[in-house]
Structure 1
Amino acid sequence: MGILSGNPKNEPLHYGEVFGIWSFLFTSQACVAAYQTMLNHAGDGDLKELIHEAITTSQEEMKEVAELLKENGVGLPPSPPARPVADLESIPAGARFMDNEIAAKISADIAAGLITCSTMMGQAIREDIALLFGRFHGKKAVLGGKFLRLNKEKGWLVPPPLHLQPKED
């Protein structure tokens, strides 16, 4: 039996796994802080619900990866403080993020998160790490679909130029 056989949780993490997990946690912490701020700026009720879901999902993921890092003796990245709740009306109109901007930013973050999860799945040699990020990937894909639907329903989606084939007579 080699060092990489048996229970994956007893196998050491390789440097790529450590860096990827640590970076995932660091980035997720920053996203949660940003989403808490964006929540203060959001006016649309449907958008607010999805922002709450994005925050909750990220916090659940952060808890799991923080525990994984601790179990493997890896120090955690610094965490930004939680953002206070603010009254939307107290934010001047010119200083506010618009709902469509918030939805676009979170949608882009979800797309980047999908790539991160796929990368971690591909570079992991521990099955539990690959499966963990596979689960995160699935959750992000579902949440991304919800944001896509919201962007379409609200008219916030700005498609790139559409390629239409001319019809032949």
Structure 2
Amino acid sequence: MIMVGGVDMHNLLETIMRIVNTVVEEEPLPLNIIEASHFWTYYIAVMDSIAFEEAGLNISDDTELKQLLKESESLCLKQAHHIEQIMRENGIKLPRVSEPKPFTDSKYIPEGVKLTGEELSNGLAIKFASMASFGATAATMSIRADVRKMWMGFLVEVLTFDIKLKSTMRKREWLNMPPAYKPA
């Protein structure tokens, strides 16, 4: 259970998905240019995140951070494969993306070159904030119900992981907290 401000976020996200699942189209329309563009752009973002996660797994010796990077990579791979399938089915050309990073033992990477746990976790947090924002935009701009449902599902997955990531970042004092707002 993930509580935020006294609200069980898992139940809230499940409720949103139940509402989205009630909308059924008799026959899906073809993808429109905006939906295709959203697939193309999000695919690039997710694949870039995977490259970052692979690099992070090579750099970090921190067990807890490596677990988060593995979970993030798994989530991004799942979403990338789903989008790839839709793009291929709809004749959307796949964009060029980063090549997979080979495994390297972190002991062979000089200390001055390695990103810290704080840098890796904040980089991951920025990527997930971007994915959440873009996914929400894509969901609201989608015409097709099945596409909107897919984006909402992605958004739930991203937000669920992001809550876990931020919780760990707070615990480890890695979270870059903006100053409190004090109106004049």
Matched, 1:16 2:34: yes
CA distance in 1, matches of 2:127, 2:48: 11
CA distance in 2, matches of 1:42, 1:7: 48
Q: Which runs of 5+ in 2 are unaligned?
A: 1-24
Report the counterpart of residue 173 of structure 2 in structure 1.
155
Report the counterpart of residue 30 of structure 1 in structure 2.
48
Q: 1:6 aligns with which of 15, 26, 42?
A: 26
Matched, 1:98 2:116: yes
Moved over 4 A (4+): none
Q: In 2, are the aligned partners of 1:43 and 1:99 still within 8 Å (CA)?
A: no
SS at match of 1:95: coil
The amino acid of 1:7's aligned partner reads E
What does the per-residue CA deviation read over 1:64-94, in whole Å, with 9 as the maximum and x for residues that have no partner? 1111111111111123321011111111111
Report the counterpart of residue 21 of structure 2 in structure 1.
none
| Structure 1 residue 164: Cα displacement | 7.3
Q: In 1, are the aligned partners of 2:122 and 2:176 still within 8 Å (CA)?
A: no
CA distance in 2, matches of 1:149, 1:164: 25
Q: In 2, are the aligned partners of 1:54 and 1:143 still within 8 Å (CA)?
A: yes
Matched, 1:55 2:73: yes
Range with greater deviation from structure 2 (38-47 or 113-122): 38-47
| Structure 1 residue 50: Cα displacement | 0.7
Matched, 1:71 2:120: no
What does the per-residue CA deviation read over 1:82-116, in whole Å, with 9 as the maximum and x for residues that have no partner? 10111111111111111110000101111111101
Report the counterpart of residue 117 of structure 1 in structure 2.
135
Report the counterpart of residue 142 of structure 1 in structure 2.
160
Q: 1:133 aligns with which of 147, 151, 162?
A: 151
Q: Which runs of 5+ in 1 are unaligned?
A: none
CA distance in 2, matches of 1:149, 1:83: 28
Identity over the aligned pairs, expressed in percent? 22
CA distance in 2, matches of 1:163, 1:26: 35
Q: In 1, are the aligned partners of 2:118 and 2:174 still within 8 Å (CA)?
A: yes
Q: In 1, are the aligned partners of 2:132 and 2:159 still within 8 Å (CA)?
A: yes
What does the per-residue CA deviation read over 1:50-70, in whole Å, with 9 as the maximum and x for residues that have no partner? 100110100000111111111
The amino acid of 1:53's aligned partner reads E
| Structure 1 residue 42: Cα displacement | 1.3
What does the per-residue CA deviation read over 1:12-68, in whole Å, with 9 as the maximum and x for residues that have no partner? 111111011011112211211121011111121111001001101000001111111
With the length of structure 2 as denominator, give the TM-score of the two structures.
0.82
Q: Whose radius of gyration is greater, 1 or 2?
A: 1
